[in-house]
Copies of this chain bind each other. A is one copy, B any other.
Amino acid sequence: MAIKHTIIAILGGTGKQGTGLALRWAAAGYTILIGSRQVEKARVSAETINRQLGIKSASGLSNQEAARRAEVSILTVIHSAHHDALVSLKDIMQGKILVDATSRVDFHNPKPPAAPCAAEEAQMILGPTVRVVAAFQNVPARSLSRNLGQPLDADVLVCSDDIPAAELVIGLAEAAGLRGYFAGPLINANVVEGLTSILISMNKHYGVKDARVRVAGISTEG
């Protein structure tokens, strides 16, 4: 296993999406810090990951402590917890990269959300010196935890006003077996959130569970 020194915090990371991403990055050799408002829950999640992979490097912490120790933090909370989580992280995140994976779509009544998108809200709360990136909003969470080490047939649209930060996140997507694409400034992330509504409509109409979007016409090989 390659040793990667990047330390990744997954904040609100005990849910299906956070756990799936954590598993894939831990399997790729990254040090993973699971953050939660309930530290005990975060510890249980981290222990499950350590046991499943036969490693010791995943830890469970409070969201603040995980963000403090990490180089990159991924926020995977539900939207109702989004604002308060960000307020509590504001000081800690200054100068660092915050990846917002929040999608505001209600699964029971899916419709495209209005601007500003969750990641723009994050930028407003955190202030201009936090490097906010929007990504992973509609990764099929179910698939992440299966066939670790196998690439997933899903693409990640990465939006940010900070291109070097976006490129780092594209690298993380690839380490998780996904393909990452730069998809323009943060404002475009509203479209990516809205895609969740389209994917839910497709899943219902076609009776499938993992409709997803791929990008074509760009060669990123090599």
A193-222 interface code vs B (CB 8 A; 1 in, 0 out): 011011011100110111111111111100
User: CB < 8 Å: which of B114, B192, B206 contacts A114?
Assistant: B114
**In the complex, A148 has a CB within 8 A of chain B:** no
Given A182-B202, A183-B202, A212-B216, output 5 extra A-B contacts at Cβ < 8 Å.
Answer: A111-B185, A111-B187, A112-B188, A185-B201, A211-B215
Q: How many copies does the complex hold?
A: 2
Q: Could you tell me if A214 and B215 are in contact, using CB atoms closer than 8 angstroms?
A: yes
**In the complex, A184 has a CB within 8 A of chain B:** yes
Q: Could you name 7 residue pairs across A and B whose Cβ atoms are closer than 8 Å?
A: A110-B184, A111-B187, A181-B202, A184-B198, A188-B198, A191-B197, A206-B218
**In the complex, A8 has a CB within 8 A of chain B:** no
A112-128 interface code vs B (CB 8 A; 1 in, 0 out): 10110000000000000
Residues of chain B with a CB closer than 8 A to A209's CB: 217
Q: How far is the CA of A206 from the CA of B219 in the complex (A)?
A: 8
**In the complex, A157 has a CB within 8 A of chain B:** yes
**In the complex, A153 has a CB within 8 A of chain B:** yes
